[in-house]
Amino acid sequence: MAKYIIKGGIRLDGKIEAESAKNAVLPLLAASVLTDEEVIIKNCPPILDVESMIRILKELGVKVRYEGKNLIVNASAMHGYTIPYSLSKEMRSSIFMLGALISRFKSAEASYPGGCDIGLRPIDLHLHGLKQMGVKVDEAGGEIVCRAERLKGGDIYFDFPSVGATENIILAGVLAEGRTVIHNAAKEPEVEDLQHFLNTMGARVSGAGTSVIVVDGVKKLHGTEYKPLFDRIEAGTYLVAAAATGGEIEISNCNAEKISALLHKLCDNTCKITVKNDIIYLRSGNGRKSFNIETLPYPGFPTDMQAQMVALAAVSDGISVIRENIFETRFKHVRELNRMGANIVVKDRVAIVSGVKQLAGAKVTAHDLRGGAALIVAGLNAAGTTVIEDVRHVERGYYMPEQKFRALGADFTRID
């Protein structure tokens, strides 16, 4: 089992480039099966979640290959619509395939998806939307079976702006009969990116980035070549790590507007942020100040940055209050941070963080993707050596973090 060994207390300094977003690439891969023509997804990092999605596509008869960091997808020989449990359990994003498979075959079969254990993430909104489009859904024994004689558009109303459900209904709607209107749609940048991608394939999707998305079904989609948007969570993680070490870094291939909620909080923490074109420059201030955070759907503060900010709050002067509104058990990293000398108390969905000057290296375990990223942030700050075990969670969403952190001057080693 792989682990990271970090010798902390070193100020991060240097330049890196943000990767394409995991949470954009996965729905794009699902969308790529909606045409028999070749699709090229550029600058696609081979992280574990992407590799899991590729295994699903290959199981269904899709040809997928890498050329450098470009992913070439050809679904012309695709023959299957059943995702086996052995593959769907690996990650939650396998659920994106429901909308795509229903769109292509009018049938889809899958097991309930896996992913990080951060609380209940029901797929009822996904299934509700599909039912409104004429899909018959049967659930039994952890399996989901979807069938549709005709896939027709309609008005879909969500009680919560779910990113995955919004993307699934878009995928189902692009080849459906008539118009699909999604009300209370998720506004995340990754949803906008899916819209842009599909429209380059000949789809007619509009409104992404607002609460109402309109999908006018078309008869056929064609191939495309597309570069996904930057990974705002990856970029944010490196910015927070720089702040936690008193560092100074530049990250290129970014869009600062898409992470403005995070940048404002880093400024509250005394960091100086400068933006020029696609580059975000961060210089840490004198000392670190406490801050308060409440996670919310976009454009609010992203839940995927909560854990990393808890780690930063742990070494910031004063008391920070961080409320998690999206997932009910997303504080597993707190126990590990407290092992490193942090002073954090969790009450229901709120973490109360009393800052200390510096953490101490310890042996800790990554329980989920973003919690593992928080432990990296903590280890980079800590005096002494930190050993992070079970880092497969981290590598589901971060491409070669050891190389990137070493490029910023960190003493960071990965051991198999």
What amino acid positions are annotated as catalytic residues?
A: 116
* Positive/negative CA dihedral, 405, 407, 413, 416: positive
Q: CB–CB of 59/80 below 8 Å?
A: yes
Instruction: List alpha helices for 35-74, DSSP H.
Output: 48-59
What's the chain's Rg over C-alpha atoms?
21
Burial (CB count within 10 angstroms: exposed 0-12, middle 13-18, buried 19+), residue 391: buried
Amino acid at 312: L
- DSSP string covering 312-336, please? HHTTSBSEEEEE--S-TT--HHHHH
Which residue carries 């990293």 as its tokens?
A: 333
What does the DSSP assignment read for 123-187?
Answer: -HHHHHHHHHTT-EEEEETTEEEEE-SS-B--EEE-SS--HHHHHHHHHHHTTSBSEEEEET---
Residue 347 burial by CB count (10 A; 0-12/13-18/19+): exposed, middle or buried? exposed
5, β-bridge pairs:
387, 413
